[in-house]
Structure 1
Amino acid sequence: MSDAIRTFTVAPDDDGIRLDRWFKRHLPDASFNIVSRWARTGQLRVDGKRATPGDRIEAGQQIRVPPAEVLAKVTETRPPRPKRERPSLGEDETAFAQSLVIHKDAAALVLNKPPGLATQGGTKTDEHVDRLLDALWYDEDGRPKLVHRLDKDTSGALLVGRTARAAGHFAKAFSSRTARKVYWAIVVGVPSIEDGMIELPIAKQPGTGGEKMHVDEKEGSPARTRYRVIDRAGNSAAWVELQPFTGRTHQLRVHMAAIGHPIVGDGKYGGRDAFLTGTISRKMHLHARRIRVDHPDGGQIDVRADLPPHFAETLVALGFTEADGDALVLDEVKFKDTDEGKRRLVANKAKAARKERKGERRGRGAPPPPRGKR
């Protein structure tokens, strides 16, 4: 009967999503406003209890929805929304997208994102990974889903969920910090502490429209980065391993610049001091080398992404050996809880504070250092 209350069972692929997201997937004609109205009037229930659009649902739960004719009456006077056609990919784009895949199983893809390719679209950004996912359905019924992102100029391992269930699992792994990401970077100068933790809060920098972040001890969100020096080229540059223990925007770039060792090629945070002389590329030298995360079906995904050409050439030019970076053990050390860790945190905070005071003095009229001087 059209006037019967409808009941739906939450499927495994929908486990953990918000209730409004479930409606978008399965009853798209029920707008957010309609669902909110049903919730306010007690017509929307999960396992017999009143529910709100923001509630998280679990597999096996029963969702009670008003009769179909109620929705029809609401929607029949509403003009249909114009459908946005997703642009189809050409053969070259499809081949390019599939060439990025370095790991594939029933639940996940791992891509090796090249530098210069955005993860998602935006203003004046039409070429991005999210668009290319249309070429990566393979034998699945649904479109792959991004679960985290990399900056446009950062290269390396990018995890993608192949099903809604897998995407939800991976998203939880990133939000709970059980997923581990290892980055390689070339930085200007050599940190005086070779193995340390940077703990400096980060916030959006006023006046930049959210395009730039900065260290903000009062208003910033907590941010922690572990770094280890893999090798050094005299005193001019170092090859470092970076592990973010939080996921703030531009965290690695802000933290390394804050302690006086900007990532090579990162003019946004390092200014002119972020570039080396000679044949070293001016591109950003930040690469997501490895990603390790629990698989939703048991076991682990543990994948390494090859370096882009400019980064590999810089390693050779500076006399570094790539195998040395992979020789480091990915351990679970929690420096914050050790005496040595506390000492390193204090030292790095002090170094960042000195650099900030130095910048303030320059702003009051002191001349900048000569170009190229390290």
Structure 2
Amino acid sequence: MVTECSGLLDFLTLKLTNQSRNNIKSLLTHRQVNVDGRVVTQHDFPLKEEQTVRIVRSVIRGQKEKDVLQILYEDADLIVINKPAGLLAITDNKNGVSAYHLLTDYVRRANPKARIFIVHRLDRDTSGVLMFAKNEKLKLALQDNWGGLVTQRGYVAIVEGRLKEKSGRIRSWLKETKTLLVYSSPKVGDGLEAITNYQVINETQDYSLLNIQLETGRKNQIRVHMKELGHSVVGDTKYGARTNPLKRLGLHAHKLEFRHPFANQLLCFETEVPENFKALIKL
């Protein structure tokens, strides 16, 4: 957080005491510095009080945007990324590109025998916070008590239309057809319980930006609940959307908070609302 006005390079030099001035200039040149969620490369970019500056490390394979992973956090046990929309979390195709394969290549640069383990998933077209374990012991501990360890799962979504009720709690029981379409059963207890809390952040004549908090994490839960609310997620033709203004699914996993099963430490990972979401909703 910026506490007084200064140039960006001067601010970084003051904060990154373990980096040389040339290394810091390299961060700027390689587009690894964000100011309030926007990439900045200008050395003398004027910073104002209360702006947020972040250093972003990337794993790059190829030139396509979907092949770029933003690493939010890494230690001996975990890697947390900001997955782009359009990239699978994992694929069975050995030649296919996925977050799992890109990160496996990344960790093996330092140790050819290193492995990563998937803990949870995001849909291909959903962007946002995605966590991987770097050892099987942690993977199993997280998966065995995911519901008990995860304290917050927050999403932002852009949906079609304006909601009459600006906040609410949706509870239903989800089932899946043979064609992999998820729907709510009208019978209590018939399926997997799913609970979604939502609140309108902002709205235009045509769209609403929602803050969503999950109490459960079922397959396609948000997408199904929004459709049944009468306000499908934009770009989600599978669940009733009529418009696609973002040219992608309007769903982003912006926050994941959980308690480390071994260290008993509360960890929280958070990303900004995507810039194209803000532009559409006029934030």
Instruction: Report whether the alignment pairs 1:318 with 2:281.
Output: yes
Following superposition, the deviation at residue 99 of structure 1 comes to: 4.1
Residue 184 of structure 2 is matched in structure 1 by: 215
Following superposition, the deviation at residue 91 of structure 1 comes to: 7.5
Distance 1:99 1:271, change over 3 A: closer
Residue 110 of structure 1 is matched in structure 2 by: 80
Distance 1:91 1:133, change over 3 A: closer
Distance 1:221 1:317, change over 3 A: closer
Residue 254 of structure 1 is matched in structure 2 by: 224
What is the rounded CA distance, in whole Å, between the counterparts of 2:136 and 2:161 in structure 1? 44
Residue 299 of structure 1 is matched in structure 2 by: 265
Residue 135 of structure 1 is matched in structure 2 by: 105
What is the rounded CA distance, in whole Å, between the counterparts of 1:202 and 1:125 in structure 2? 33
Q: Secondary structure at the match of 1:182?
A: strand
Distance 1:97 1:306, change over 3 A: farther
- Structure 2 unaligned runs (5+)? 1-58
Higher strand residue share: 2
Instruction: Report whether the alignment pairs 1:228 with 2:199.
Output: yes
Residue 238 of structure 1 is matched in structure 2 by: 208
What is the rounded CA distance, in whole Å, between the counterparts of 1:245 and 1:91 in structure 2? 34
After the TM superposition, list the runs of 4 or more consecutive aligned residues in structure 1 that deviate by more than 6 angstroms.
94-98
What is the rounded CA distance, in whole Å, between the counterparts of 2:279 and 2:181 in structure 1? 32
Higher helix residue share: 1
Once the two structures are superposed, the pairs formed by residues 15-34 of structure 1 within 5 Å of their partners are: none
Residue 251 of structure 2 is matched in structure 1 by: 286
Q: Secondary structure at the match of 1:176?
A: helix
What is the rounded CA distance, in whole Å, between the counterparts of 2:68 and 2:60 in structure 1? 11
Aligned length: 219
Distance 1:125 1:232, change over 3 A: farther
Following superposition, the deviation at residue 316 of structure 1 comes to: 1.9
What is the rounded CA distance, in whole Å, between the counterparts of 1:271 and 1:256 in structure 2? 10
Larger radius of gyration: 1
Output the TM-score relative to the length of structure 2. 0.69
What is the rounded CA distance, in whole Å, between the counterparts of 1:259 and 1:125 in structure 2? 39
What is the rounded CA distance, in whole Å, between the counterparts of 1:91 and 1:188 in structure 2? 34
What is the rounded CA distance, in whole Å, between the counterparts of 1:125 and 1:228 in structure 2? 41
What is the rounded CA distance, in whole Å, between the counterparts of 1:269 and 1:292 in structure 2? 28
What is the rounded CA distance, in whole Å, between the counterparts of 1:126 and 1:264 in structure 2? 27
Residue 70 of structure 2 is matched in structure 1 by: 100
What is the rounded CA distance, in whole Å, between the counterparts of 2:266 and 2:149 in structure 1? 15
Distance 1:136 1:98, change over 3 A: farther
Q: Secondary structure at the match of 1:100?
A: strand
Q: Secondary structure at the match of 1:103?
A: strand
Q: Secondary structure at the match of 1:268?
A: helix
Q: Kindly provide the CA deviation profile for residues 78-127 of structure 1, in whole angstroms up to 9, marking residues without a partner as x.
A: xxxxxxxxxxxx98359987842111122211011100011121479822
* RMSD between superposed Cα atoms in Å: 2.8
Output the TM-score relative to the length of structure 1. 0.53
Whether the 8 Å CA contact 2:255–2:269 is kept in 1: the answer is yes
Following superposition, the deviation at residue 169 of structure 1 comes to: 2.6
What is the rounded CA distance, in whole Å, between the counterparts of 1:301 and 1:158 in structure 2? 13
Q: Secondary structure at the match of 2:275?
A: helix
Following superposition, the deviation at residue 129 of structure 1 comes to: 1.7
Distance 1:252 1:189, change over 3 A: same
What is the rounded CA distance, in whole Å, between the counterparts of 2:217 and 2:250 in structure 1? 19
- Structure 1 unaligned runs (5+)? 1-89, 321-374
What is the rounded CA distance, in whole Å, between the counterparts of 1:94 and 1:160 in structure 2? 24
